Amino acid sequence: MDFVRELKKRGYRITNPREVICSILENSGHEHFTVEKLHQLSTKKDKNIDLATVYRTLELLESIDIVEHLHQAHGSGIYYLKSENDNNHIICDLCKSIFDLAKETKEKINKVLVKDSNFNVINHHFIYSGVCKNCK
């Protein structure tokens, strides 16, 4: 998807900083970013991009269903491109690597939550954490 074209189509103003941020995200695949990491990458292309612009651009892209974010305990939010492959994530507390959990794992977790809570829909914006096999 061409993020800039999508924003223009929806009537949003396109600035150079917004274009840089969109370009990085478009070319990221399923990479996960903190705002700080995305800001660092953006300033390599345009040193005038400030942190607030990164936050505002991510909020805008999230509001039109292009990116999603997750919360992690004692850390920055994690942003990534939204896809049809909705999945859960787990982050290593030591090396900070982020892994996608299998769709089957998410389904099992949601079944337990539905059973224990009596809620019909389980949706979340958090990330599991632990220590990965490489750091044990």
* Domain 89-130: top CATH class: alpha beta
Q: Where are the domains of the chain?
A: 3-81, 89-130
Quote the mean pLDDT of the chain: 88
d(CA 7, CA 23): 13
Average pLDDT of the residues in 83-112: 83
Whether 3-81 and 89-130 share one fold: the answer is no
Distance in angstroms between the alpha carbons of the first and the last residue of the chain: 39
Q: Could you tell me the two tokens for 118?
A: 């009596």
What confidence category does residue 99 fall into, taking pLDDT thresholds of 50, 70 and 90? confident
Q: Is the pTM of this model over 0.75?
A: yes
**Rg, the chain, Cα only:** 17
Which tens digit of pLDDT belongs to each residue from 45-89? Answer: 999 999 999 999 999 999 998 998 888 777 778 898 887 556 688
- Note the pLDDT of residue 86: 64
Q: Could you tell me the two tokens for 12?
A: 């949003």
pLDDT at 8 over 90: yes
> Looking at domain 3-81, which CATH architecture does it have?
Orthogonal Bundle (1.10)
Q: Are 26 and 2 in contact (CB under 8 A)?
A: yes
**Strand arrangement of the beta sheet that strand 98-100 belongs to:** 98-100, 89-92, 128-130
